Amino acid sequence: MATATTTIARKRSALTRGQLPSYAPWAVVAAAVILAAAIMALVGFNALGWGVLSAVLFTIGLVTWSAAAEGSRKAKDKLATCLVVGSFLIAVLPLVSVVWIVLVNGLPGLVTPGFLGTSMNGISGLQDNTSVNTGSRVLGGIYHSLMGTLLITLWATVISVPIGLLTSVYLVEYGNDRALARAIRFFVDVMTGIPSIVAGLFAAALFAAISGPGTKTGFVAAVALSVLMIPVVVRSSEEMLKIVPNELREAAYALGVRKWRTILKVVIPTAISGIASGVTLAIARVIGETAPILVTAGFATKINMDVFSGWMSSLPTFIYTQILNPTSPANPGPSVQRAWAAALVLIIMVMLLNLGARLVARFFAPKTGR
Amino acid sequence: MSKRIDVKDLNVYYGKFLAVEGVNINIDARSVTAFIGPSGCGKSTFLRTLNRMHEVLPGARVEGEVLLDGDNLYAQGVDPVTVRSQIGMVFQRPNPFPTMSIRDNVLAGVKLNNRRISKSDADALVEKSLQGANLWNEVKDRLNKPGSGLSGGQQQRLCIARAIAVQPDVILMDEPCSALDPISTLAVEDLINELKENYTVVIVTHNMQQAARVSDKTAFFNIAGAGKPGKLIEYADTQTIFSNPSVKATEDYVSGRFG
C-alpha cells in the first residue's frame, strides 16, 4: 500500500509582512545621536539641545524606516511608542534633577558632625565667619527644627485623623446623599483648594481671639496644618470606605450585628490599609508647608519641645530663614549649606513616609493564601 | 430551636413603588420551603422582609404582618437587630469577611457583638458549626488561614457555618448555589437536607430541579409585567407544584414554557 505524501512547495508565508531587523532601533539611535552632534557642532553645542534633537531625529528616522519596511500600521505604532516614552522622560526629568541637585548640595552639610544633633542656639555670624575664614567645620544644626517638624506634624495628625475619619464614616455610612452630606462634600472640596497661608492666618486669628494676639506656638501651627490635612484625609478615607463591598455589611447585619459595630469591626478593618496609606500621604503633603508655620509658630533657634508655649522651628521655616536671612550676612555660605542639608533631610522624610505608606498598606491588607 | 413563620397580607414598597403585593404564606418549622419564579418577581425582596434585611436599602418599607411563632416582626418597638440574630441569612455570593481567619469567620456573630466566650467554648462552637456545615474535615487543619483562600463552594459553606453559629431559629438562603459548580451545589443541597432537622429553612432558587430536590413545600411567585408588583401565585407541597399544579401559570413555569 502506497503512502501518499504531499510536499508543499516552500514559498514566502502569506501571513507575514516585512519586518525591521532587531538591531534597527539601536542603529537609528546611533545615527540620530551622531547626526544631532554634527548639527549642534554647527550652531553651537549644548547638552539639552543635543538630547532633544537626538530624540526628534530618532523618532523621524525610526518611523520613516518602519513605514518603508513594515507598512503604515507598524509605523503608527512606533510613532505612538516614541511619543509615550518621550512624555515619560520629560515627566521624570524634573523629578530626577530635583533629587540630584538636593543630594549634591545637601550631602556636605548632612555629613557634617553634629548637624542632626545640635540646634542653632548660640550660633551667630561670628562662628560662621570663623569657619569660612579658617576652613573649620560649619557649626550649628537642625535638631530643633527636626523636633519641631515632628511634633507639629504629630499633633496635626492627632487632630486631623479622628475628625477626617469620622467625617468620611458619616459621608459613606450615614449621609445617604442628604443635603448635609452633600454640603460637607462640597466644603471639603473647597477646603482642599484653599491656599496654605490662609489656613495659617485662620489658625493665627483663632488663637489670637482665644489667648491674646501674637500667640505663636507649635500647637497653633498644628491646627493650621490640620485645616490643610482634614480634607485630604476625608477624601481618601471616603474613597476607601466606598469600595468596601456592601455584601460584607449585609453579612454582618444578617448575623445580628449593630451598625456601629459593623462599621468599627468589619468596614474599617477591611479598608484600613487604604485609610492608613491615605493618612500617610496627607502627612507627606503638610510636612513641607512653610507659610502657615511661619505665621503660627514663628521661628526659633533653640530647642523647644513644648508645643503649647513658645516659638518653634520646623525644617521648612529653617530653610526659609537660613536662605533669606543668613546667620552671617557677610558669609552666607554656611547658612546655604545648612539650608540645603535641611532640604535633603525633608526630602528623605517624605520619601520614608511614602515608603511607610506602602509598607502600612501591605501590612494591613486583607490576608490571602490557603 | 426552630420556629414557624406566618405572613399575613404583606406588601413591600421601595419608596412609592409596590414591589410585592398581598403575600399570605405559612411556613412550617423544621421544613424546607423553596421560592421559585422568574427574575424580578420579588422573591428575593420578599425573603429579605422575613428578617428585615430589606431595610438596609433606603426607602424600603412593608405593610402587613410577619409572625415568628406568633410574634410580629414589624410590631412597634421591635429591634431589627434582634430579629436578624434569630433569623439568619446566606447570600447569593459567598461573602466571608476578608480580614478574618476561617475560625474568626465562624465566630463572627459572637465576636462582632463583643460577647465573651471562653476558648474551649469557642473551639467547641467552631467545630460544631463547621461540622454542621459539612466543612470541618476540609478545614480543620487550617482554621487560622484566611477564609478568602477557600474555594467558592467552601466559602459558601463557611457562610452557612457562620450563620448557624449564632444559633438562629430560621435560616434564609438567597440563591445560595447560583455562584457554585455542580459538586459544591450538591454539597450545599445535602447540607440543606440535614439543616431541616433543626432549623426552618427558606431558600430562593432559580433552579427548579434544586427546588424539587431539597424542598418540602414550594411557593411560585410571578409578575404580571414590568413595573407591576410581584405576587405569590401558588403555594403547595413540592410534589403538587411540580406534578399537579392548580394554576396554569405555575404549570407553564415548571414545565419550562416561560421564565
* DSSP string across A55-85: HHHHHHHHHHHHHHHH-HHHHHHHHHHHHHH
Among B148, B134, B132, B143, which Cα is nearest to B184's?
Answer: B134
Contact predicate B168/B85, CB 8 Å: yes
Read off the pLDDT of each residue in A298-326 and give the average, rounded to a whole number.
88
User: What are the pLDDT digits (tens) for A30-41?
Assistant: 999 999 989 888
- Cell triple for residue B81? 437587630
Between chains, do B109 and A256 touch, taking CB under 8 Å as contact? yes
Angle at A10 (CA atoms; ends A7, A16), nearest 5 degrees: 130
pLDDT score, position B259 = 53
Rounded Cα distance, A194 and A230, in Å: 12
Interface test with A, best of B112, B155, B171 (most A CBs within 10 A): B112
Choose from A163-172, B67-76, B187-196 the range with maximum mean pLDDT: A163-172
How many Å is the Cα radius of gyration of chain B?
Answer: 18
Read off the pLDDT of each residue in A203-212 and give the average, rounded to a whole number.
90
Between chains, do A255 and B109 touch, taking CB under 8 Å as contact? yes
Rounded Cα distance, B201 and A299, in Å: 71
Between chains, do B85 and A368 touch, taking CB under 8 Å as contact? no
Read off the pLDDT of each residue in A302-318 and give the average, rounded to a whole number.
88
CATH fold for the domain made of B5-254: Rossmann fold (3.40.50)
* pTM score of the predicted model: 0.81
Rounded Cα distance, A45 and A34, in Å: 13
Read off the pLDDT of each residue in A300-326 and give the average, rounded to a whole number.
88
Between chains, do B56 and A262 touch, taking CB under 8 Å as contact? no
Contact predicate A284/A350, CB 8 Å: yes
Closest approach of B258 to chain A, Cα-based (Å): 31
Q: Is residue A120 scored above 70 in pLDDT?
A: yes
- A247 interaction partners in chain B (CB closer than 8 Å): 91, 93, 95
Q: CA of A370: which chain B residue's CA is closest?
A: B149
The H-or-E segment that residue A245 falls in is none
Pairing of strands B5-14, B170-174: unpaired
Among A300, A296, A289, which Cα is nearest to A145's?
Answer: A300
Rounded Cα distance, A44 and B256, in Å: 85
* DSSP alpha helix (H) spans, B3-107: 43-49, 80-86, 102-106
- Cell triple for residue B254? 415548571
- Cell triple for residue A310? 513658645
Cell 422573591 sits on residue: B43
- B95 interaction partners in chain A (CB closer than 8 Å): 245, 247-248, 250-251
The H-or-E segment that residue B201 falls in is strand B200-204
Using CB atoms, pick whichever of A251, A257, A368 lies closest to residue B148.
Answer: A368
Interface test with B, best of A174, A255, A266, A370 (most B CBs within 10 A): A255
Closest approach of B77 to chain A, Cα-based (Å): 16
Q: Domains plus CATH for chain A?
A: 21-110 (no CATH), 143-364 (1.10.3720.10)
- A175 interaction partners in chain B (CB closer than 8 Å): none
Between chains, do B84 and A256 touch, taking CB under 8 Å as contact? yes
pLDDT score, position B3 = 87
Q: Is residue A198 scored above 70 in pLDDT?
A: yes
Between chains, do B146 and A367 touch, taking CB under 8 Å as contact? yes
- B162 interaction partners in chain A (CB closer than 8 Å): 251, 255
Using CB atoms, pick whichever of A256, A366, A367 lies closest to residue B81.
Answer: A256
Residues B151, B156, B160, B162: what is their CA dihedral angle, to the nearest 10 degrees? 60
Rounded Cα distance, A362 and A69, in Å: 48
* DSSP alpha helix (H) spans, A111-142: 125-134
pLDDT score, position A177 = 82
Burial class (CB in 10 A: 0-12, 13-18, 19+), A239: middle
Q: Is residue A159 scored above 90 in pLDDT?
A: yes
Contact predicate B12/B48, CB 8 Å: no
Read off the pLDDT of each residue in B221-237 and give the average, rounded to a whole number.
88
- B113 interaction partners in chain A (CB closer than 8 Å): 256-258, 261
Between chains, do B53 and A248 touch, taking CB under 8 Å as contact? no
The H-or-E segment that residue B126 falls in is helix B119-132
- B166 interaction partners in chain A (CB closer than 8 Å): 255-256
Contact predicate A99/A347, CB 8 Å: yes
Q: CA of B99: which chain A residue's CA is closest?
A: A366
The mean predicted confidence, pLDDT, of chain A is 88
Q: How many residues does chain A have?
A: 370
Q: Is residue B181 scored above 60 in pLDDT?
A: yes
- Cell triple for residue A149? 517638624
Interface test with A, best of B57, B68, B97, B151 (most A CBs within 10 A): B97
Between chains, do A256 and B162 touch, taking CB under 8 Å as contact? no
Q: How many residues does chain B have?
A: 259
Q: Is residue A152 scored above 90 in pLDDT?
A: yes
pLDDT score, position B258 = 67
Q: Where are the domains of chain B?
A: 5-254
Q: CA of B82: which chain A residue's CA is closest?
A: A256
Q: CA of B107: which chain A residue's CA is closest?
A: A255
Q: Is residue A3 scored above 70 in pLDDT?
A: no
Between chains, do A248 and B98 touch, taking CB under 8 Å as contact? yes
Q: Is residue B215 scored above 90 in pLDDT?
A: yes
Long-range contacts formed by B114-123: CB under 8 A, 24+ apart: B114/A261
B contact set with A (CB within 8 A): 51, 53, 56, 58, 81-82, 84-86, 88-89, 91, 93, 95-99, 101, 108-109, 111-114, 142, 145-146, 148-150, 159, 162-163, 166
Q: What is the CB neighbour count within 10 angstroms for residue A226?
A: 23
Contact predicate B204/B44, CB 8 Å: yes
pLDDT score, position B117 = 87
Q: Return the SS3 of B78.
A: coil
ipTM comes to 0.89
Rounded Cα distance, B242 and A134, in Å: 104
